[in-house]
Amino acid sequence: MKEQIINKAIQVLDNNFQKGGFTIPSKGLYPFQWKWDSGFIALGFAHYDIDKAKQEVETILDAQWENGFIPHIVFHNDSDTYFPGPEFHQSHLHPLASKKYRSTGMTQPPVFGFILERLYEIADDKQDMLDFINKQIDKVYDNHVYFYKNRDLNQDGLVYIYHNWESGTDNSPLWDDIWTTMNPPEYTFERRDTSHVDASQRPSKREYDHYLHIIDIAKEHNYDDAKIAELSPFLVLDPLFNAILIRSNEALINLYQQIGGHQDKIDFLKQQQLKSISGLNSKLFNEELGAYVHYDLRNDRQIPYLCSSSFAPLYSGAPDADKAKRLAETMLKRFGDEGRYLCASFDPTHDRFNPKKYWRGPVWINMNWMLYHGLRRHGINDLADRIKADSLELIEKNGFFEYFDSRKSNPDSETNGYGGNNFSWSAALLIDFLK
Ligand code: 9WN
């Protein structure tokens, strides 16, 4: 049984692997290389084909800009099955953009610190992997320096995102209140996503108008960070993004210590780490809700909703034992009734919850993977094990879907699997869970 499902996962990953040495998240729907997908995908490969794991990391990091920025999509290839593509994003507008690859001018969560660390844990030949890490690690470090230098607006260790696509949690109800502060033009374009996936499971046309408008504002200023910070209607501190940065700082410190030398970099990371942890706990923890929340910098207020990102700091080690316990209690109380799989991407008790629509409710395997490791880290093993078991059951019963309905008996559909099928990180992380 275990071998069978692992073999299926391997098939999914191998079919999505492309000649250029990178892996698409899902055929048709996502035909390029995405930043955080690529990290999770590398973990799957590492268990059975270490060369592919290395190539995956190399190809994404090769698209780094001269200022340390790593884009969220790298357009290695042409494809007309996705919108918006390279013609819309126009990364060349930024003077320090990669000359080699076209990309977007926005980023995604900085996963590569902990990805390199996990690759080291998985690899049989530790010396060979350490040599590989030694070649790549400065790029990841430069990426962290980029964030602290350009995106830590208040110098409190918290870095902002300027677009909902940077969060990775694209159409979350978290952003609804921000959309009401904007009035973007009605764009004319041909949606491609809804030719692959039922429209009821994707963002609305009007939401896309908002997404495109923020990019247009950034483009008008050649993707200049300072201008974006001044003008973007979307400017948010995300507990998921910042928790991942903190977790990756920690991993980089460990890896540099393993490699030896690099004291200046270790010192910088340690200093930032302290600030980031304290910023996260003071600015993003919401006592009333008992979890971390997002912060809208443009309108200077917390965004007081619970979602799966609210618990992501568990993975970073930022919460102390009391906070970790609180987080677990909140998760159980609001997301964890017996009739549900963990962990819905948005608060199931809230009226904005939608069990089928993308990041407005469904369960995502990459979030579950981080929550599993976060809960384990804090010794909250029962809940961790439930999350892992739920993730495996959802995939075994439904297939390698992009996201899943959290309701155990689902009155709306025969399957709990939604979005893209044969989705790479669902396959990769199942392998990592089972190996
Ligand atoms: C926009 C690739 C990506 C994931 C994101 C997910 C979805 C893209 C889209 O797909 O976003 O980046 O077009 O909907 O939300 O987390 O990285 O799998």
**Sign of the C-alpha dihedral computed for residues 363, 111, 251 and 317 taken in this order:** negative
Share of the chain above pLDDT 90, in %: 99
Q: What does the mean pLDDT of the chain come to?
A: 98
Q: Which residues in 212-326 belong to E strands, given as ranges? A: 236-237, 285-286, 291-292, 294-296, 301-303
**Rounded distance, CA 156 to CA 265, Å?**
19
Q: Which residues contact 41 (CB under 8 A, 6 or more apart)?
A: 13, 16, 23, 25, 56, 424, 425, 428
Q: What is the pLDDT of residues 176-209, one digit of tens each?
A: 999 999 999 999 999 999 999 999 999 999 999 9
Centroid of ligand 1 to alpha carbon of 408 (angstroms)? 25
The reply to whether ligand 1 has any atom less than 6 angstroms from the CB of 25 is yes
Q: Using the mean position of ligand 1's atoms as its centre, give its distance from the Cα of residue 168 in Å.
A: 6
pLDDT digits (tens, 9 = 90+) for 256-269: 999 999 999 999 99
Question: Per-residue pLDDT averaged across 157-170, rounded?
Answer: 98
Whole-angstrom distance, CA of residue 234 vs CA of residue 245: 20
Using alpha carbons only, give the angle 176, 233, 180 rounded to the nearest 5 degrees.
30
* Closest ligand 1 atom, residue 108 Cα: 17
d(CA 282, CA 308): 19
Q: What confidence score (pLDDT) does residue 282 get?
A: 98
Is pLDDT above 90 for 271? yes
Burial tier of 48 (Cβ tally within 10 Å: 0-12, 13-18, 19+): middle
Tell me the average pLDDT across 367-386. 98
**Cα–Cα distance, 66 to 48 (Å, whole number):** 33
Is the pLDDT at 1 greater than 90? The verdict is: no
The pLDDT of 207-232, averaged and rounded, is: 98
The residue nearest atom 12 of ligand 1, judged by CA position, is 165
- 277-314 pLDDT, tens digit each: 999 999 999 999 999 999 999 999 999 999 999 999 99
Q: What is the pLDDT of residue 89?
A: 98
DSSP 95: T
Active site residue 170: yes
pLDDT range class, residue 388, cuts 50, 70, 90: very high
Tell me the C-alpha distance between 311 and 370, whole Å: 9
> Which tokens in the block code for residue 227?
């201008």
Domains of the chain: 2-434 (1.50.10.10)
Listed in sequence order, the residues at least 6 apart from 48 whose beta carbon sits closer than 8 Å to its beta carbon are 10, 431
Atom 16 in ligand 1: which residue has the minimum CA distance?
168
**Catalytic residue from among 250, 402, 405, 432:** 402
Residue ID of nearest Cα to ligand 1 atom 1: 165
| pLDDT computed for residue 103 by the predictor | 98
pLDDT for residue 162 is more than 90: yes
Q: 79 with 187: CB under 8 angstroms?
A: no
User: CA 191 to CA 208: how far, in whole Å?
Assistant: 9
Give the tens place of pLDDT for each residue, 105-129.
999 999 999 999 999 999 999 999 9
| DSSP notation for 175-240 | GHHHHTT----------SHHHHS-GGGS--HHHHHHHHHHHHHHHHTTT-HHHHHHH-S--EE-HH
Query: Quick check: helix, strand or coil at residue 381?
Result: helix
Task: For residues 235 and 38, give the distance between their C-alpha atoms in angstroms, rounded to a whole number.
Answer: 25
**Ligand 1 touching residue 30 (CB < 6 A):** yes
Average pLDDT (31-53) is 98
Q: What pLDDT sits at residue 244?
A: 99
**Contact 165 CB / ligand 1 (< 6 Å):** yes
Task: Choose the catalytic residue: 170, 176, 224, 329.
Answer: 170
Q: Is the CB of 34 within 6 Å of ligand 1?
A: yes
pLDDT the model gives residue 207: 97
**H/E run at residue 324:** helix 321-335
